[in-house]
Structure 1
Amino acid sequence: MRKAVTIVLAGDLVLDEPDAPYWLAGIAPALKGADLAVAHLEVPHTARGQELQGDVPAPGAPPENIAAIAGAGFHMLSLAGNHIADCGAEGIADTLALMADAGLIGTGAGASLLEARRLAILVAGDRRIGLLSYNCVGPENSWAGDEQAGCAYLRIETADGTPIAPAADLVRVTDEAVEVLRADVAALRAKADFVMVALHKGVVHTPARLAPYERAISHAAIEAGADAVIGHHAHIVRGIEFHHGKPIFHGLGNGCVVTSALSPAQDHPARREWAERRKALFGFEPDPAYTLAPFHPDAVNAMLGRLTVHEDGRIEAGIIPVDVLAPGRPVLAAGERKAQIARYIESITTRAGLAPITIADDGTVSA
C-alpha cells in the first residue's frame, strides 16, 4: 500500500533583502517537515534585464536568494504572475537558471508560451506530484507568446473590454481559459498521480472579498481534473472551499515578503506613487513597524496550506497558522495567535460567501 504524502503550500515569495535565510527561517521547520513544499515566486531574481512597462515594476531580487529558498525547504515554485516578467526575458532566463542550479522545479514562465506551460512533476514518497501555474490578472504584455518570453496565463474578460491588468475589473472566465485548463490538466493527469493548479488571481489588499471570476476559474480547474487549487496574488489570505470534495485555497497570502519596493521612501517614481495610491484605493494604512511588509493590517494573519494525500488516495486539507512579525518576518504561530488566525480564516471564508468551514486544533479544515 502507498504511504501518505504531505505537501505544504506557501503564497507569494518576495525576497528583496539580504540574508534571505533569516527571513525564511521562521517557516522553514514546516517546510522541511513535509514531503514536498511549494510556493509562488513573485519576482525575477536577476541583476540584469530591461524594466517591463505596463504595471508597477518590481525590482529584480538578489540572485543568491534563490539558493536560500531551496535551503529553507522548498522544492517546487509556481512562476506565472504579474511581476515575473518585470526584468524582461533576461530576468526570466536568469531565474530559471538559478532554480535549476538550486534543484528547484518550476512552471509558469519561460522563453515562450510552450515553455511557460510545461508540466512540472516531482516525486514525493512514491507519488508523482504535478503542478501547473497561470496568471489570471495580466498585464497582457507579461504573457508569453510563441517567440516571446513571459508567463502562462488564463484569459479573464474585463467588465468594460479594456486590456487585462491587475487594476482592471476582471469579471468572466473565457472559453479559451477553460480549454487551456482542460488540455494542460489532462496532459499532466496522464503523467502524475496528484495534480495541483496554481492561480495568480483576485483583488489585492482587501480582506475576504473574491472577484466575480475567482470561484468559476477555480471550479473549472477542479472539473478539468485537478486535485487541488492554490491561489495567490492578493498579499492577504482568502477563504477556503471544497468543490467536488477537492480543496481550493483561494488565497495563501504572503509566504515571505520582505521588500523596500513598497515603501514611499524610494527613488523609483512609479513604485513611490503606487505605495501612496494603494492606501487610498484599498482604504488601509500600514502599521509603520512593518517597513518591509507594508500591507493591510489583517495580513499579519497568515498561513501555509497543507495537503495530505492518504494511503487510500483521500485528500485532507489543512492550514499551518503563521504570524507575521515586524518588520515583515513570518513565523509559525503558537498559543493564542494560532487560534486567532484559525478563527480569522473561518470568518473570512464565510464573509466571502463561501460555505462555512471548521479548522480543528491540528489545522485540519472541514466543510
Structure 2
Amino acid sequence: MNDSNLTMLCVGDIILGKDAQPYFDSVHPFLESADVIFGQLEVPYTSRDEQSDELERHPEYLEPLVKEGFSVLALAGNHLADAGDMGIEDTINWLRDHEIEYVGAGMNISEARRPVILERNKTRIGILKYNCVGPEETWATSNKPGCAYVKVLTHYELQHANPGGPPSIYTFAEPQSKVEMENDIKELRKKCDVLVVSFHKGLVHQPAKIAAYERELSHAAIDAGADLILGEHAHLLKGVEIYKGKTIFHGLCNFIAYVPSLFPKQGDDMEAWANKRIELFGFAPDPEYPTYPFHPEAIYTMLAKSNIENGKITSTSFIPCIVDKEGKPVVVGRSSGGLEVLEYMRNITELAGLDTQYEWSGDEIIMR
C-alpha cells in the first residue's frame, strides 16, 4: 500500500454515560483500522454542573473515545450550552488534555471558527464545523464561548384560501452568514489536501425529509472547495447525495446516544409520556429501548467511510449498523441485517427526491 493512503471514518451524534466502553464492542475492529476518526459530541461534559451526576456527564466518562482512537470531535450543536460556559470550557479542556482535536466551538467566535488540520501519511485533512439549528444562545461571540454557526431563516407562506391550514415552509441561509462560511472554506482550501465540512442540521426525528437549506448549504460548501459533507442532529439517517462528484451524507444518525434521562422514571405515567412524545415529535419511542428513546427508525445507523489516496478522496461508502436494545451500535453485514439497512437507505433516499444508487462492495455499501 502507498504510504499516502488513508481510511477516514465519520460517525454521528455521541452521548456517553458512565462505563461506556462496552458500547464500542462491535465497532471496535473498524475504528481500530481507521487512520482518522471523526464524530459529533452532542452534549457538554463537566463536573461543575448540578445535573452532572444524574445525566452521567462527567468528563472522565469520555475516556472510551481516547481508547478508540478518535482524532477529532465536533462540538457545534444545539446542546453545547446546556451546562453554561463552564460546560463548554471543561469539555474543551478535557479534549485538549487528552489530545483529541475539537472543531466548531471555542471560548470565542475566532476559536469556534478555527479549522482543524490533521496530517496523516503525508496528507493534510482540514475540517470545519457549523451549527445550523440554533438556538442563538449557543452561538459564540467575540467575548462569549459557543459554537461556529450559519444562521438559517424560515419563511412561512400562508395558504390564504385555507386560513389556519398548513403553510408552505421555506428555509434558506442568511446571506452574510453563508458568505462567512464560504470564506472559511476558501481559506482552508489553501492549507489542506482533503477538506471536510460538518453541519449540525436537519429536521429532528423526521424520517427522510431534507429541508431546502440543507442542500443549499451543502452545495455551497462544495462549490467553495469542500470534498466531503457530513450532517448530524436529526437523530435519524438521511439520504446520501452526490453533487459534482462529492459525497454529502445528509444525516449520520446517532452513533452511541445514551440518554436514559429522557425515559420515564419508575412510577411515572408511561402513557402520558408516550402521548407527549407523539404530540412533540409524532412518535412514541419503543419502551424496549430505555437508554435509547429515539424514533423507532433511529435503530439504523452507519460508519461513513472515505478512502483517501495521494491527497484525494477516491471512494466513499458506509458500514451499516443496527442499534440493539441496550443502545449499542452493532455492525451488520450482507447476511446479518445489512440488507435491512440498505433497503431503508434506498427508501429514504427516494422519498427525499435524491437519485443516489447503493450497491454492495463486500460488507460495505457504496454510492453512485
Q: Which moved more, 1:335-344 or 1:227-236?
A: 335-344
Matched with 2:97 is: 101
Which structure: larger Rg?
A: 2
Q: Which moved more, 1:279-288 or 1:121-130?
A: 279-288
Matched with 1:248 is: 248
Matched with 1:164 is: none
Partners of 1:108 and 1:117 within 8 A in 2:
yes
Which amino acid in structure 2 is aligned with residue 182 of structure 1?
A: E
Q: How far apart are residue 185 of structure 1 and its match?
A: 0.8
Matched with 2:287 is: 288
Matched with 1:270 is: none
User: Partners of 2:321 and 2:151 in 1: how far apart?
Assistant: 32
Which amino acid in structure 1 is aligned with residue 19 of structure 2?
A: D
Matched with 1:165 is: none
User: Partners of 1:144 and 1:59 in 2: how far apart?
Assistant: 25
Matched with 1:82 is: 78
Matched with 1:309 is: 308
Alpha-carbon displacement from aligned partner over 1:3-62 (angstroms, at most 9, x marks no partner): 3211001000011x21111122322221111111100000001112489xxxxxx95722
Matched with 2:13 is: 12
> Structure 1 pair 276/221, CA: closer, same or farther in 2 (3 Å)?
farther
User: Partners of 1:295 and 1:60 in 2: how far apart?
Assistant: 18
User: Partners of 1:229 and 1:266 in 2: how far apart?
Assistant: 42
5+ long unaligned stretches in structure 1: 52-57, 162-168, 268-272
| SS of equivalent to 1:181 | helix
> Structure 1 pair 337/238, CA: closer, same or farther in 2 (3 Å)?
same
Matched with 1:212 is: 212
State the aligned residue count.
349
| SS of equivalent to 1:196 | strand
Q: How far apart are residue 276 of structure 1 and its match?
A: 5.6
Partners of 2:320 and 2:365 within 8 A in 1:
no
User: Partners of 1:274 and 1:178 in 2: how far apart?
Assistant: 39
User: Partners of 1:294 and 1:62 in 2: how far apart?
Assistant: 21
User: Partners of 2:221 and 2:343 in 1: how far apart?
Assistant: 28
Alpha-carbon displacement from aligned partner over 1:53-112 (angstroms, at most 9, x marks no partner): xxxxx9572211222112122111111000011111111110011101221011111111
User: Partners of 2:170 and 2:127 in 1: how far apart?
Assistant: 25
User: Partners of 1:276 and 1:189 in 2: how far apart?
Assistant: 48
Matched with 1:69 is: 65
Matched with 1:297 is: 296
Matches within 5 A, 1:326-341: 326-334=325-333, 335-341=335-341
Please say if 1:186 is aligned against 2:186.
yes
> Structure 1 pair 287/36, CA: closer, same or farther in 2 (3 Å)?
same
Partners of 2:262 and 2:293 within 8 A in 1:
yes
Q: How far apart are residue 141 of structure 1 and its match?
A: 1.1
Matched with 1:177 is: 177
Matched with 1:32 is: 32
Partners of 1:12 and 1:39 within 8 A in 2:
yes
Partners of 2:227 and 2:313 within 8 A in 1:
no
Q: Which moved more, 1:71-80 or 1:1-10?
A: 1-10
Which amino acid in structure 1 is aligned with residue 249 of structure 2?
A: F
Matched with 2:317 is: 318
Could you say which structure has the higher strand fraction? 2
Q: TM-score, normalised by structure 1?
A: 0.89
Which amino acid in structure 1 is aligned with residue 41 of structure 2?
A: L
| SS of equivalent to 1:336 | coil
Partners of 2:76 and 2:148 within 8 A in 1:
yes
Partners of 2:124 and 2:311 within 8 A in 1:
no
User: Partners of 1:22 and 1:239 in 2: how far apart?
Assistant: 29
Partners of 2:194 and 2:312 within 8 A in 1:
no
Alpha-carbon displacement from aligned partner over 1:221-275 (angstroms, at most 9, x marks no partner): 11110110000001111100111100000000001101122213289xxxxx998
| SS of equivalent to 1:115 | helix
| SS of equivalent to 1:238 | strand
Partners of 1:156 and 1:170 within 8 A in 2:
no
> Structure 1 pair 314/47, CA: closer, same or farther in 2 (3 Å)?
closer
Of 83, 108, 115, the residue aligned with 1:119 is 115
Partners of 2:202 and 2:233 within 8 A in 1:
yes
Please say if 1:136 is aligned against 2:137.
no
Matched with 1:221 is: 221
